[in-house]
């Protein structure tokens, strides 16, 4: 599988992304099936029509919060395209038969209650979709951690009880700091160090 994610917002360079997907799916080039390629976006709603018109690749949208107040706090794009605008644009642009993947990073005490699961289920109900629940990986901010496993399970069970196709993404690369959300955090920490700094504080 090929995923466009984590190297910048793909929809900010959508023309080039679509050209690369076209090459990757060309049977005379790499020959990947479009369903083996996923393009992930934070929700640049005004590019959705262009995306769906240009490719059969899968689309993933990062939600990460069930309401605008909290999504504003962690995803600045929400101040430009709020949740209602994003969903309206998605429903208008998505062709019949297509499905979208919603990504939902789960943070302890922030967006992980059963009430949050209920809000999320309400939000995705009109959309042909599945939801990937992603327990947060450890990063530079100690306040942003995953909920206990039993709360993750309860959150997913509530979504499923509402008829939502929901899966928990199993972490890969967490032990080497290479899992989802960890590489960017590590890069930010490294930039704070001067080239000659070898103090324990700087390397911790």
pLDDT digits (tens, 9 = 90+) for 66-121: 999 999 999 999 999 999 999 999 999 999 999 999 999 999 999 999 999 999 99
Q: What residue numbers bound the domain in which 44 lies?
A: 2-176
In a domain, 32, yes or no: yes
| Calpha distance 64→198 (Å, rounded) | 36
Residue 185 predicted with pLDDT over 60: no
Tell me if 202 is assigned to some domain. Answer: no
How do residues 129-161 score in pLDDT, each as one tens digit? 999 999 998 766 777 899 999 999 999 999 999
**For position 23, which CATH number holds?**
3.20.20.70
> Does some domain include residue 185?
no
Number of domains comprising the chain: 1
Residue 4 host element (H or E): strand 2-4
3-state secondary structure at position 163: coil
Question: Which residues contact residue 173 at a Cβ distance below 8 angstroms, ignoring those fewer than 6 apart?
Answer: 179, 182
Range 30-38 average pLDDT: 97
Q: Is residue 33 part of a domain?
A: yes
Asked if 104 and 83 count as a contact pair (C-beta separation under 8 A), the reply is no
Task: Give the percent of the chain with pLDDT over 70.
Answer: 82
Average pLDDT value over all residues in the chain: 87
């Amino acid at each position: 599988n090929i995923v466009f994610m984590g190297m910048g917002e793909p929809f900010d360079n959508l023309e080039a992304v679509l050209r690369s997907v076209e090459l990757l799916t060309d049977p005379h080039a790499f020959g990947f099936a479009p369903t083996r390629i996923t393009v992930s976006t934070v929700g640049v709603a005004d590019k959705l029509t262009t995306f769906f018109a240009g490719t059969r690749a899968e689309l993933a949208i990062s939600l990460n919060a069930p309401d605008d107040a909290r999504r504003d706090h962690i995803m600045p794009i929400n101040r430009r395209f709020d949740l209602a605008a994003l969903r309206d644009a998605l429903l208008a642009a998505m062709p019949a038969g297509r499905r979208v993947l919603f990504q939902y990073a789960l943070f302890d005490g922030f967006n992980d209650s059963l009430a949050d699961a209920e809000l999320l289920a309400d939000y995705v109900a009109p959309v042909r979709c599945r939801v990937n629940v992603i327990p947060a990986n450890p990063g530079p901010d100690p306040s942003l951690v995953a909920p206990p496993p039993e709360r993750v399970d309860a959150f997913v069970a509530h979504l499923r009880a509402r008829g939502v196709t929901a899966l928990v993404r199993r972490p890969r690369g967490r032990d080497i700091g290479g899992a989802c959300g960890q590489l960017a955090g590590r890069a930010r920490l490294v930039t704070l160090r001067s080239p000659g700094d070898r103090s324990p504080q700087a390397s911790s």
